[in-house]
Amino acid sequence: MKERSWQGKTNASALWMQRLEHGHHFFTFIDTNATSEAAGTGYALKRSKKKAVCVCYFGDGAASEGDAHAAFNFSATTESPVIWFCRNNGFAISTPTQDQYRGDGIVARASGYGMLGIRVDGNDVFAVYEVSKSARKMAIEQSRPVLIEAMTYRGSHHSTSDDASRYREKAQQDWWNDIGNPIKRLRNFLTLNGLWDEQKEKDLHARLKAEIDATAKKGESCPKAHWKYLFEDVYDTLPPNLIKYVYYFSFFSIAFLCMLKQLK
C-alpha cells in the first residue's frame, strides 16, 4: 500500500495523516470522540515538556455530549496545553442552537472549567488567524487550555444524506452563502486592496485543478490495499476470534485467485 510510504492511512471513517517530522499528528473521529484523545494528548505534551499544543476541532453539537465536558475538565485540572476550537454553525446536524442549550453559547462554559474563553467571527479569516495565534501562545506559555468559539454557518448540507431544507429556510442559507461566505469576504477584501483580480483567480483554479488531477491519477495507479490491513492497528496481539477470521480470509482469497486462473 503506497500510502504507507508517506505515513498516511485511512481506517473506517477516521482519517490518519501524519507528518511527525513537523510535529503534526492528525486524527479525526465521529462526533465528540476526539475530545478524549485531545485531552490525553495535551497532557502528554505537558509531561514531555514540549513547546507544542494540541488543537481539537469540534462543533456545537459535539459540545453537548458528555465526552466533551469530561475532556474540558480534564485539560483544565491538569493545566494542559490544549486549544478547544468549537465551530458553532448554529445547527449541529439538524438541531438549532436554541434547542441545544440555554446559556450564552459554548464559550460561556470556559469559565466554569477555569479555562480562557474567546469568541470570534468564524467567517473572518484574519480574525480566526489572530485568535488562534494568541490562543497557541497562551496555551504553551501558561500551560493551560483555551476554548475558542468561532461563530459561523454551514453553507450546505451536513452530509450527502442530509437535507438542510427540512430544518432551515432557503432564504437564510442564500443570505449566508452570499454575504457571510468567508471565501467571498476574503476575495472582496483582497480585491478592494488591489491584491486580487479575476485573472489571478482563474490562474489559481487552473493550477489547483492540475494538481488535483495529477494527484488523483497517481492515487488511481496505486495498488489496492491488502485485506490483511483490516486486522491491523487495533490490537497489539490479535485475539483468537480474529485470528480465526484471518485464516478464513486467507483460504477464501486463495480459492478466489485459483478460480480466476481457471476462468482465464
Q: pLDDT tens digits for 10-56?
A: 555 455 566 667 777 766 666 788 899 999 999 999 999 989 999 99
Q: State residue 8's pLDDT score.
A: 47
What is the side-by-side strand order in the sheet with 146-151? 54-59, 82-88, 146-151, 116-121
Say which residues have a Cβ less than 8 Å from residue 32's Cβ, sequence separation at least 6. 58, 62, 63, 65, 67, 68
| Ranges of the chain whose pLDDT falls below 50 | 1-8, 13
pLDDT for 160 equals: 84
Q: Which three cell numbers stand for residue 201?
A: 483567480
Contact 84, 76 (CB under 8 A): no
Rounded-to-10 torsion of CA 158, 160, 165, 171:
70
Give the number of other Cβ atoms within 10 Å of residue 191's Cβ. Answer: 14
Cα distance between the two ends of the chain: 26
**Cα distance between residue 5 and residue 145, in whole Å:** 34
| Spatial contact of 144 and 116, defined as CB atoms under 8 Å apart | yes
CA distance linking residue 55 with residue 100, whole number of Å: 24
One-letter amino acid at 172 equals: Q
